[in-house]
Amino acid sequence: MSATYELSIGNDGHLIDIAPSPTTGINQSGGGGGGEIHTEWLRELTSASRSAAVLNDLIGRTPTLWYLGERAPTILRPRSRRADLKALHAVRAVAIGPYHRGDRGLAFDDEAKLPFLRYLQDQCGLDVEQYVAALGAARGCFRDEFADDADAVGADWLRDEDKFVKMLLLDSSFVLVFSLMFGKAGRSEVTRERFILYTALAQYADEIKLDLLVLENQTPFAVVKLLAASCRGLKLLSVEELVLGCVDGICPTRARGKAELLLKRLPQLRS
């Protein structure tokens, strides 16, 4: 039994029915006598490799996308371009990842991150040994997300196996606890430990939010998701929404309000 089907396309209130050609790769023309249309070129035009090549060319010709053309990893240290963009690469309160761990004067160094790890153990049921074992097993994939551009401090943390896993452990603990306390979907239970950590974070909350947006001040998001999954007492619908909710208030609300108003007026503008 042969299957038959029809496609219907709506266009300005008119319905156009299109029956597929029985000849693969060829569209038959109607009664107008236009002849056959060969479409072998369509496969080449829509190939993933060609699309990727064109996209990479666009990245190379677009100055504002320079960081995407450095290499495949998502977390990198653009040292050669920092001179003119210092404000975009300044870390104010906390170093996440290897590249700012040598910075001085940060409020939350590795020692100060330990209570956040302990909080997840005591309040969220984190099995640290199981989590560290999972980090160690996937450390190669996680390391590949950091670019190696001869940064001395970063290279040391990336090269040393123990230091690298320790960094992922402490950084992900800090990011998850901060998100739980300042994200929209965070936990609301009040305990002594939570009160202490929340108060300590609150005085630097704005700086931390900005730090989490710095391009090279990041940890692989999969690490934070793995940590959340390792906390038996933590139930989250979306780790992404939790973490991104922390920086939602930084968005220019005034401009966003204007955009929403414009969208509402679009039907009027079209008429």
Q: Which letter does DSSP use for residue 185 in this model?
A: T
Tokens 């300042």 identify what position?
Answer: 182
Sign of CA pseudo-dihedral 254, 256, 257, 263: positive
Whether the predicted pLDDT of 61 surpasses 80: no
The amino acid at 172: S
**Rounded Cα gap, residues 98 and 154, in angstroms:** 5
153 CA to centre of own chain: 24
pLDDT band at 95 (very low <50, low <70, confident <90, very high): very high
> Which is higher by pLDDT, 109 or 18?
109
Helix axes 221-229, 161-182, angle to 10 degrees: 70
> Which is higher by pLDDT, 188 or 235?
235
Tokens 């679009």 identify what position?
Answer: 266
Whether the predicted pLDDT of 89 surpasses 50: yes
**What SS3 string covers 152-163?**
HHHHHHHHCHHH
- Please give the pLDDT value at position 136: 92
pLDDT band at 17 (very low <50, low <70, confident <90, very high): very low
> Which is higher by pLDDT, 122 or 77?
122
- Please give the pLDDT value at position 248: 73
The angle subtended at Cα 262 by Cα 258 and Cα 267, nearest 5°, is 165
Whether the predicted pLDDT of 45 surpasses 60: yes
The amino acid at 193: E
Overall pTM > 0.85: no
pLDDT band at 244 (very low <50, low <70, confident <90, very high): confident
Tokens 């999972």 identify what position?
Answer: 134
Residue 139, φ and ψ in degrees, nearest 5: -60, -30
Whether the predicted pLDDT of 29 surpasses 50: no
- Please give the pLDDT value at position 112: 94
Mean pLDDT of 104-116: 93
Structure tokens at 184: 């929209």
Sign of CA pseudo-dihedral 160, 166, 169, 174: negative
The candidate with the shortest Cα–Cα distance to 142, out of 233, 231, 227, is 227
Q: How far is CA 127 from CA 117, 123, 147, 228, 240, in A?
A: 11, 11, 30, 11, 22
- Please give the pLDDT value at position 231: 94
Mean pLDDT of 68-82: 58
- Please give the pLDDT value at position 225: 93
Whether the predicted pLDDT of 204 surpasses 90: yes
